[in-house]
Structure 1
């Protein structure tokens, strides 16, 4: 638990801030954005990842799929995995990971607009070809960030690991 640090500054998305508004992300339809995270009520998680299919992300996200029921028991109604990828890629990744839990959603931030508005983008052009998301997990309740966990470096999966976030919700 001492390894978990809730961010309180340095980015736009921080404890006490509102989720960026007016930005729709793609879930099931690659042509039409349908999910606005600022319009979701209740308590949920936003799990920001640099890229679908990358080794760190493919080891990070399964923990949220596996622990979805335990998260629900702690009041988390849904988990939204947000990747700066196109919807074809995020859907193929969801299938590859075998995620069938209806409370775990894979969202394509294909233009990076949500990630940039959240202040959590970084230049990954050397490895991934464009700007990507820092690895983070935001606990959101009624459009306000209650807690946020951000990795120091994108390949790391320590503070944002599902087990750690689950423990912090205790």
Structure 2
């Protein structure tokens, strides 16, 4: 009954170890008009990297570690890596190109309304610097829809717990 009430009310189901990614939402990757990628219950082992904003200095130093270490992640059984930013699809596509990630297994997804980020309990008010609500910096290792490892930074500009090298060491 609780899960039905949560679905009806749109209640937040925070990411944490043991949680299921079940938002009912699709994020935008290539089509800026329509979401085409659902992270709900993706088969296999994936990584979701939540970042506050494309092109920001901390995020632009954080994400390249995942791109550069793609082969190491694949060798550890990771099927895909999804970078989720509360930005529009034009911005995330341009950022992917800027970071040299085209053709990789690292997908850049636009959560342009923040709906996904809200549903997984990772939204915070960044209006003082970034103009609106954004994602906290987090990494979730998800296997068959269930979170098996989760890290979130204490402050959005910090990139320590969620660095690619640290996540690789924990796989």
Same fold, TM-score > 0.5, yes or no: yes
1:122 alignment partner in structure 2:
124
Q: Does 1:65 align with 2:81?
A: no
1:135 alignment partner in structure 2:
137
Q: TM-score with structure 2 length normalisation? A: 0.91
1:47 alignment partner in structure 2:
49
Q: Which deviations, in whole Å up to 9, do the C-alpha atoms of 1:96-129 show, x marking residues without a partner? A: 1011243110000000000000001100001001
Could you tell me which runs of 5 or more consecutive residues in structure 2 were left unpaired when the two chains were aligned.
Answer: 1-12
**Structure with greater helix share of residues:** 2
1:146 alignment partner in structure 2:
148
- State the alpha-carbon separation in 2 of the partners of residues 31 and 40 from structure 1: 22
Cα shift at 1:72? 0.4
Q: TM-score with structure 1 length normalisation? A: 0.91
Q: Is the 8 A contact 2:45 2:77 kept in 1?
A: yes
Cα shift at 1:40? 1.6
SS at match of 1:79: strand
1:68-107 equivalences in 2 (<5 Å) = 68-107=70-109
Cα shift at 1:20? 3.1
Cα shift at 1:137? 0.3
Cα shift at 1:21? 2.3
2:27 alignment partner in structure 1:
25
Number of residue pairs matched by the alignment: 159
Q: Which deviations, in whole Å up to 9, do the C-alpha atoms of 1:55-98 show, x marking residues without a partner? A: 00000000000011100000001000000000000000001101
Task: Give the 4+ runs in structure 1 shifted more than 6 A.
Answer: none
1:16 alignment partner in structure 2:
18
- State the alpha-carbon separation in 2 of the partners of residues 87 and 53 from structure 1: 13
- State the alpha-carbon separation in 1 of the partners of residues 93 and 44 from structure 2: 25
